[in-house]
Structure 1
Amino acid sequence: MASDLKDMFWKRLDNVQAGLLSADSERPVPMAPQTDRDEKAIWFVTAKGSTAERAAKSGGDGRFDVADPKAGLYATIDGKLDLGSEDKLEEVWNAFAAAWFKDGKDDKDATLVKFTPHSAEVWATENSVSFLYEVAKANVTKQTASGGEHGRLAF
């Protein structure tokens, strides 16, 4: 089951538009993930001087929390932060990142952070129609609803 859940995790994470990234025990901030399953990494475009960038400079730990009903993914992901390269920044650059930097990917404040997951607790749920069916069925049958797949993953 863990390999199926891990597969489901990476596939659904591709559809997540934003989550909350935290590092160094500071407040979490909304960030748009760029997944790279082959590299087992999640990339974030951030500003130089941000908490994520400072933690990445020292190879610090981070946490990425996801609650995305459209993707059917809820997860708490712990991992390590490192700085990314200019080439990778060019590769993952998109309209979401461009909205935050005046001079686009050439903005002197734009930088890339690599998040390498160590572990995660994951809930992969059904789509909203299936979920509503489960809720209705549970109320009629007096049984608990199925919340989908749940488990802990190690990467």
Structure 2
Amino acid sequence: MSSPEHKQLIWNLIKDIKVGMLVTKELNDEDGLRARPMSLVQDAYDGTLYFFTSKTDAKAFEIAQDKDVCLTFSNPKDNVYVSLTGKAKLSEKRDLIDQYWNKWVAAWFKNGKDDPDVAILEVKISKGEHWDSTNNKLVQLFEVTKSNIFESSTPNLGESKKFGTE
């Protein structure tokens, strides 16, 4: 698990990206993985990420079969990349649905938040990794060129940090 400070760091990295790719294991393929975009609905992070979903969507059945998921967030413009791994579950908790309901979500559920197909996808994060480079593109190009010329160094493109259980 990560510390409160590290959770805040993760939140600061992903909160403006908003949309992450949720990776699940496909139902009918032992080795197949499937990714789809999911939009964050919360305004803080305590170790769990929340998304709205339909109870009849393929991801709901995939998660019922295998709760292990991966979420990735990227902002190439600012050189921020985050990969999070955790356990997912569908929830019909009324307080969460009420708390996170918004106009964006309403567009997907024509019968509103009382639609019997509405669910909250909760992903409890157990580990992850993030990369954050404050170097601009020119510095990155220099690092890659230097590495190719001298063949003895790896380009320094920024910081990478793993966290959580292994």
TM-score, scaled relative to structure 1? 0.76
1:24 equivalent to 2:25? Answer: yes
CA distance in 1, matches of 2:62, 2:94: 18
Give the aligned partner of residue 72 of structure 2. 65
Is contact 1:75–1:122 with CA below 8 Å preserved after alignment? yes
Q: Deviations over 1:51-99 (max 9, x none)?
A: 3333555671111122223565312211101223121111112233222
Give 1:154's aligned residue: 164
Cα distance per residue 1:24-48 (max 9 Å; x no partner) = 344111101235423x100010111
C-alpha change, 1:67 and 1:139, in structure 2 (3 Å) is closer
Q: State whether residues 25 and 66 of structure 2, in contact with CA within 8 Å, keep that contact through their aligned partners in structure 1.
A: no
Counterpart code for 2:163: L
Q: Corresponding residue for 2:137?
A: 132
Separation of aligned partners in 2, 1:67 and 1:30: 12
Could you say which residue in structure 2 is the equivalent of 1:43? 50
1:75 aligns with 2:82: yes
Q: Partner amino acid for 1:50?
A: D
Q: Give the RMSD, CA atoms, in angstroms.
A: 2.9
User: Using the alignment, how far apart are the partners of 1:111 and 1:34 within structure 2?
Assistant: 13
In structure 2, list runs of 5 or more residues that go unmatched. 27-32, 148-153
Structure 1: which 5+ runs fail to align?
none
Q: What is the CA-CA distance between 1:113 and the residue it aligns to?
A: 0.9
What is the rounded CA distance, in whole Å, between the counterparts of 1:107 and 1:113 in structure 2? Answer: 15
**Equivalence for 2:150:** none
State the TM-score, normalizing by the size of structure 2.
0.72
Q: Report the secondary structure of 1:147's partner residue.
A: coil
Is the CA contact 1:19–1:64 (under 8 Å) kept in the aligned structure 2?
A: yes
Look up the equivalent residue of 1:75 and give its one-letter code: V
Q: Which residue of 2 aligns with 1:15?
A: 16
Q: Bigger radius of gyration, 1 or 2?
A: 2
Q: Aligned with 1:37: secondary structure?
A: coil
- Judge conservation of contact 1:74–1:122 (CA < 8 Å) in 2: yes
Aligned residues between the structures: 149
Check whether the contact 2:127–2:163 (CA below 8 A) recurs between aligned residues: yes
Separation in 2 of the partners of 1:8 and 1:19? 16
Q: Is the 8 A contact 2:140 2:157 kept in 1?
A: no
